[in-house]
Amino acid sequence: MKTFRRVLEYSRPYWWRILISVIASLGVGGMDGAFAYMVAPLLKKIFTEKDLTVFTLLPLIVIGIFLFRGICRFLNDYYIRTAGQLAIQDIRNDLYRNNMGLSLRFFNAHPAGALMSRVLADVAVMQDGVANIVTGFFRDGFGVLSLIAVLFFRDWALAFLSIMVIPLTVYPAQKIGRRIKQLSRQSMGSMGDIAGVLQETFSGVKVIKAFGLEQREIERFYRFNRNFYGFQRKSIKYEGLSSPVMEVITSFGVAAVIWFGGSQVMHGRMTAEAFFSFVTAMMLLYTPMKRLINSYNTVQRSLGAAERVFEIIDERSEILEPAEPVAIERCEGRVEFKDVTFRYGEEEVLSHINLRAERGEVVALVGPSGGGKTTLVSLISRFYDVNDGAVLIDGVDVRAIGNRGLTRLFALVDQETILFNETIANNIRYGKTDATDAEVEAAARAAFAHDFILAMPDGYATNIGDRGVRLSGGQRQRLCIARAILRDAPILILDEATSALDTESEQMVQQALNNLMANRTTFVIAHRLSTVLTADKIAVLENGRIVDVGTHAELLARGGLYRKLHDMQFAR
């Protein structure tokens, strides 16, 4: 009921469209009635009274009635469906906007394909329901009520008998409706699984082909698809059961009416014509009633999807915005980890981290993979909140700065070279949306990307295409570096930012990065120790703990894990 109300709430801004549609639907019904009503007197006038004027007018009347009915029908359809689409559009927008506000933790837990499926498939199923709520419930509900009124007008005792069975249909209808809603939820979840597989296999097609796993993936897809069919089948069963069950129940009403009405006729208390006309009206009543129940089922199905949609709309990020964000106007870029402990799940990924980066310092993080380096820097930008301790920027807890203020303070380059289906210039502009062409070019030059960009078909206006298939890994990485350069933020985070470059371009880019690092605080993670030699401070991370901190010379002299890593790399 709550979900139902929320769906209606979304239709409310479009109430006038719904109103026009309802009025127009009355026009359609009214014309049907008028036509049926006018047939008898018209025929009488033409054939019995031989009225020529009515006869010549008749074609015009027929055309007029159908023209008016046609216009009403169009308005009815057009306005109700656009109202439905507009409401659905709002729901989809809300869903997407809320999704964007959610944390990385949420996205880690929900595969992209499954989320896409909610935005597309679940919302599409909701759409059926929204239109049905209004048209079905209004039109058929109205029809049922008016026919019941006619029955009572004819013969109240028989009418009472015939509608006595209606309450009996409520229980099975509810039971079936509830089951349909539940199955709808399950089948939409199953559709999400299918979308998840699609997203995974289409984006990972290269690995699948390289390892010859096509058949395995096809079978996996078949399995998910079969699963989906299983839910659909049950859902079809319940929807198919609905009409027969209702008909059997209402047959009791018909039987009672025939028995009681028939005896009335036999005892001469009722004419046979009156009896038959009553039975006809009663049969007429069952048609809109059946449609009403079908609408009810459709609405239940859409509510199943709606629940899943509202789940995401109601999802709140665990990264809370401070009530009164602290504004950092001129950021110096001092970063401090104060006794930070962090877990993704149960296990501690970072334990009691203490680390300071003074203004303009370069802090390198080294250590075996899985040691927690990426996790550590992701706490600065508050992709996750610490479980214990605090991360401070200029002495202010990052949790007090507020999202908008915080994102302005840093630029990030990592191994994931994410580019968007846009022009090269716009991809660089993600770093600073209002940058001029000259600024974009300067950033590209600094990242040693300018030359290869000019060699592209349309230079800076070249569209990168889906996931930048036409660029090499190193080129992609240089575009990401250009983006960070353009951002011109006081804190720079480089997580394996040069991993995809060959040694030569790495040296060039390193030079660009050195320029960039000059007057800002930098956290650099690099697997090649050569790039961290000149860092002001090197922190060695192992199993989520900082096991040593110092300069290259100090750490080498001390001969711990750093020495080992160093010797392994430079042994030859």
Check binding of 344 to ligand ADP (CB under 6 A): yes
Using CB under 6 A, which of 177, 253, 372, 405 touches ligand ADP?
A: 372
Closest CA to 539 of 520, 565, 572: 565
Ranges assigned E (strand) in 254-372 = 335-343, 348-357, 362-366
N residues, the chain: 572
The helix/strand/coil state of 67 is helix
Rounded Cα distance, 398 and 474, in Å = 33
Q: Which does 215 bind (CB under 5 to 8 A by kind): ligand ADP, Mg ion, none?
A: none
Looking at 253, 371, 474, 490, which residue binds ligand ADP (CB under 6 A)?
371
Q: How many CB atoms lie within 10 A of CB 255?
A: 12
Of 437-496, binders to ligand ADP (CB under 6 A) are none
Can you read off the two tokens belonging to residue 141?
């509900």
By CB under 6 A, is residue 382 in contact with ligand ADP? no
Judged by CB, which is closer to ligand ADP: 371, or 405? Answer: 371
Q: Judged by CB under 6 A, which stretch of 18-26, 200-208, 266-274, 372-380 contacts ligand ADP?
A: 372-380
- The pairing of strands 335-343 and 362-366 is unpaired
Q: Which of 13, 370, 465, 559 binds ligand ADP (CB under 6 A)?
A: 370
Options 4-12, 293-301, 371-379, 562-570: segment touching ligand ADP (CB under 6 A): 371-379
- Tell whether residue 354 is a contact of ligand ADP (CB under 6 A): no
State the minimum distance, in angstroms, from the CB of residue 76 to Mg ion: 59
> Where does residue 436 fall: left (phi above 0), alpha (psi -120 to 50 degrees), or beta otherwise?
beta
* Cβ distance to ligand ADP smaller for residue 374 or 477: 374
Q: How far is the CB of 370 from Mg ion (least distance, A)?
A: 8
> Binder to ligand ADP among 108, 387, 436, 530 (CB under 6 A)?
108
Member of 374, 381, 462, 477 binding Mg ion (CB under 5 A)? 374
Partner whose footprint covers residue 474, from ligand ADP, Mg ion, none (CB < 5 to 8 Å by kind): none
Question: Could you say which of 3, 187, 242, 375 contacts ligand ADP (CB under 6 A)?
Answer: 375
Which member of 133, 349, 482, 516 binds ligand ADP (CB under 6 A)? Answer: 349
Using CB under 6 A as the binding rule, whether residue 387 contacts ligand ADP is answered as: no
Which span sits near ligand ADP by CB under 6 A: 155-163, 170-178, 363-371, 438-446? Answer: 363-371
Cα distance between residue 412 and residue 379, in whole Å? 12
Closest to Mg ion by CB, 239 vs 495, is 495
Amino acid in position 14? Y
Query: What residue 371 binds from ligand ADP, Mg ion, none (CB within 5 to 8 A, per partner kind)?
Result: ligand ADP
Tell me which stretch binds ligand ADP (CB under 6 A): 184-192, 249-257, 309-317, 367-375. Answer: 367-375
**SS3 per residue for 165-198:** CHHHHHHHHHHHHHHHHHHHHHHHHHHHHHHHHH
H or E, element range at 52: helix 52-100
Q: How far is CA 419 from the centre of its chain?
A: 21
Which partner from the list Mg ion, ligand ADP, none does 344 bind, CB cut-off 5 to 8 Å by kind?
ligand ADP
Q: Give the pairing type, strands 362-366 and 521-525.
A: parallel
The upper half-sphere exposure of residue 272, i.e. CA atoms within 13 Å in the direction of its Cβ, equals 1
Q: How far is the CB of 242 from ligand ADP (least distance, A)?
A: 45
Cα(448)–Cα(98) distance, rounded to whole angstroms? 38
Q: Which is nearer to Mg ion, 122 or 495 (CB)?
A: 495
Range 464-472, long-range pairs (CB < 8 A, 24+ positions)? 464/419, 464/420, 464/421, 464/422, 464/423, 464/424, 464/427, 465/421, 466/421, 467/203, 467/419, 467/421, 468/417, 468/419, 471/419
Which residues form the interface with Mg ion (CB under 5 A)?
374
Which residues form the interface with ligand ADP (CB under 6 A)?
108, 344, 349, 369-375
